Structure 1
Amino acid sequence: MIFFYENDFPCSITLAGASEEMLGNILRQNGEENILGELLPWFNERYNTEISFSELAKGANEIRDELKHGHSYPDINHEVEVSLAYCTQMLQRAYVNYSRAVGVPTEKMAFFVRYVTENEKELFSEWSET
């Protein structure tokens, strides 16, 4: 609940990103689609492009990976810009993979989904409609 009560987006992104990745690997191992695999055709159609899964994953995980590894900017003073919208979508991705891999979401996950549904416009207002 660090997302709700502490607004700690870097920690939320890092933890949700680790969960999303691990659960995505489990799904893939079991021959099932993870959320990024499902988003690829949607993304290509919406943005009239033909990027590969690895290109989509690299872009979708750029902030998460920088928070985890700091490869692009290995400097103690480097700051990674995180946003409410990015944090929310990372939590959503983890939620979808969890639901597919495990099944029934926890009570806190259900609370998060209701919160996003009720506040979607505010949560994603910084992202353009294009």
Structure 2
Amino acid sequence: MRLTVDSQTSDIEQTRIFANWILHLGEGKVGSVNDGEAIIDIPDELLITDSTDLITALIEFVYPSILVDVKNSSYFQERAILAPKHEVVQDINDRLLSLFPGDEKDYLSSDSLCESEHLHE
């Protein structure tokens, strides 16, 4: 994780605390006993409390001036939004895509190969 480039000591310490909290969260060490569902206390400074549209506020925080930097590949490499459920990911992706001009394109992929009865040599 590259979170400390050109940071002051206090910023580095806050980043270290946050990184450890995220790691503990991912390892299931934060909150109540995790049997598939757990209650987790999120620190107040991580919550968005001043907006009625939380996803838009999150997108604006993580991707400020997204349309200006859309062709800058490092802009996207340095940012990410993590979400707990696929439905939330889909909502965030839909909102992000709606910001860009032009038509959407769907690209298909496959997780496995279809075995053919005929081998091509």
Please indicate the TM-score interval, normalised by the length of the shorter structure: under 0.3
Q: Greater RCO between the two (CA within 8 Å, min separation 6)?
A: 1
Q: Which has the higher helix share?
A: 1
Give the number of the structure whose alpha-carbon radius of gyration is greater. 2
Which TM-score applies when normalising by structure 1? 0.26
